[in-house]
Amino acid sequence: MKNNAKKYRWNLIISIVVFAAIIIVLAVFHEPGKTDSDSSEGKLREYSDLDSSKYVIGCPTGTLDDYVVKENFPNARLAYGNSMEVMPVMLESRMIDAYLTRIITLPYVFENHPELTFFPDTVYSLSPAFFSSNDSKGHDLVDKFDKFYDDLCEKGEYSKIREKWESYSEDDKTKVMPDLNFTGENGVLNVAVSMANYPYDYLDGKEEKGLYLELVERFCAENGYIPKYYTVELSAAVIGVQSGKYDLYAGDVSASSELKESVAFTKDFEVSEEVAVVRKSSVAPDVLKNNESRMEEAYITRIRQSDSFGQAVWNSVNKTLIREQRWKMLAKGLLITIALSVCSALLGTAAGICICYLIRQKSAVLNKIGNAYIVLFERIPVLVLLLLTNYLVLGKINLPPFWICVISFALNYAAFMADMTGRGIESIPKGQFLAAISLGYGKARAFKKIILPQVIYRVFPEYRMQLVTLVNTTALAGYISVQDITKVAEIIKSRTFEEIFPLVLTAAIYFLMAGLLVAGLKLIVRRVDPKFRRTLPKGARP
């Protein structure tokens, strides 16, 4: 027993050391590209030079950028990333040669990625729009919003609102939401947003704010709605709007011809211009010098030299955890992740045992139903199951997204649990059950005292693996607006424009959670492990 405990401790220590070593190596070797030569030969002189098949331009999924790139750089190749925040990392790692971003974000980009630069000339002026469902209700809502927006422009209010949110400031004290009165005579307006799109919709501590949110709230105040926000991905928002889960999507999206067939768009409204960001090493030296002088003349003042490794780590810790007390957001997200894991595991385990019981009955109907359940839910991807449950099955009963996640994860977990438990029971020789009956046990007691402890011990390795997988699966909860630890990390990344440290921190949290979970399960299984049972079960005859 002591040897096993000692072996486990050493395995845990070695795992932590290896994980820490990998992180340190990644951090040390994650150096931005350096200028290889001062020669101008083959270097970029203006953003139009990117229109070549030898260049790869990055595009975040769910944004306008792929349309912009195809229009302005038809000969360039496209590479997609899952968010705007990952674009600078892809650029520094030479996975792409450029990407487009708004001028307002550049001070924050260059604060974390000083080896990048940009061409000051505007590539494209953005004109995003909101959208609603493509039915009479959705079109009525869009018409109301268009009238509201036209009135706002006629009064000159929109330009003031835009200037407030798009102006650069160190502390963001000027970026405050208006104090409005929501009467609510027309009910609640369910609005899907990304909350990861500074300065248009984002979280400032606990406060939801941004240009898009101010437009939504002013619209609600004038038209008798109470706004209710859901943080979702664009793809999930489209499904949610179509199914009636959300009334409006307020975020960056282009009114493409294909999307117009599925949803109803509001009028376009202009926001900040987009420019091309590239590596300094890719730009001709004389052009780079001229660009940086133009950058100094503008409001972009955060250009600096690379920090030392220690200073860079401290800056990352400060921005991710300390600034705006973001550690509280992470702590809340961690609690939600733990609650999701516990509730899903308990419900899934109980459901799996019940399904296993049905399968082992003599009824052919129950047996087929149980087996069909296992086959169905083992083969549907968890993300697809989550979206179907949220938008088609439970979307219109106003069940909180947290419990929709619990139900979805439990449905999937129950299938594996039923299959695993059934195989564990089948692995026990039937003679043991018959022997227990001959010793005076009843059927239920024989199963509880003799069969079940052996089943638990035999299925434990697989159960442990599935439970760790379930904990990791909870990272999908952000797709339907549950702010678990992964979603919170994405929201923080959108504010800090730093990709590596929040990801490393999230990975470390999941790593520690899995380690503690496995350690706790080992303590539980020792109570049913035959090697550690020193006495016969009560009631058994010696």
Q: Tally the residues of the chain.
A: 542
Give 429's DSSP letter.
-
Residue range 434-457: average pLDDT?
Answer: 75
**What's the CA gap between 411 and 473, in Å, rounded?**
13
Is it the case that residue 440 has pLDDT exceeding 80? no
Tell me the pLDDT tens digit for each residue of 187-227: 999 999 988 788 888 888 778 899 999 999 999 999 999 99
Judged by phi (left if over 0) then psi (alpha if -120 to 50, else beta), residue 279 lies in beta
Give residue-wise pLDDT tens across range 63-89: 667 778 888 899 999 998 877 778 888
CA nearest to 466, candidates 338, 333, 348, 335: 348
- 320: tokens are 């991710």
The more confident residue out of 496 and 366 is: 366
Instruction: Say which residue, 531 or 72, is predicted with more confidence.
Output: 72
pLDDT at 171 over 80: no
Residue 12 in 3-state DSSP?
helix
Helix (H), strand (E) at residue 506:
helix 500-525
The mean predicted confidence, pLDDT, of the chain is 82
Helices (H), 200-325: 211-223, 234-243, 257-260, 285-297, 309-317
Give Cα separations from 21 to 9, 11, 15, 24, 26 (angstroms).
18, 15, 10, 5, 9
3-state secondary structure 298-367: CCCCCCCCCCCHHHHHHHHHHHHHHHHHHHHHHHHHHHHHHHHHHHHHHHHHHHHHHHHHHHCCCCHHHH
Nearest-10 crossing angle of helices 211-223, 157-166: 150
Kindly state the DSSP code that residue 449 receives in the 8-state scheme. Answer: I
Q: How far, in Å, CA of 299 to CA of 291, rounded?
A: 13
Query: Identity (one letter) of the amino acid at 49?
Result: D
Residue with more model confidence, 467 or 19: 467
Residue 146 pLDDT exceeds 80: yes
What is the reported pLDDT for 304? 46
Helices (H), 113-156: 136-154
Nearest partner of 418 among 474, 468, 479, 377, judged by Cα? 377
**Structure tokens of 309?**
């490794």
Kind and range of the H or E run holding 161: helix 157-166
Q: Give the helix/strand (H/E) hosting 132.
A: strand 131-133
Higher pLDDT, 35 or 361: 361
Kindly indicate the confidence band of residue 133, based on its pLDDT and cuts at 50, 70 and 90: very high
Task: Decide which of 151 and 28 is more confident.
Answer: 151
Residue 30 has pLDDT above 70, yes or no: no
Question: In the prediction, which pLDDT does 6 show?
Answer: 60
Residue 12, pLDDT > 70, answer no
pLDDT at 127: 78
Whole-number Cα distances in Å, 144 to 137, 139, 157, 267, 328: 11, 9, 17, 11, 38
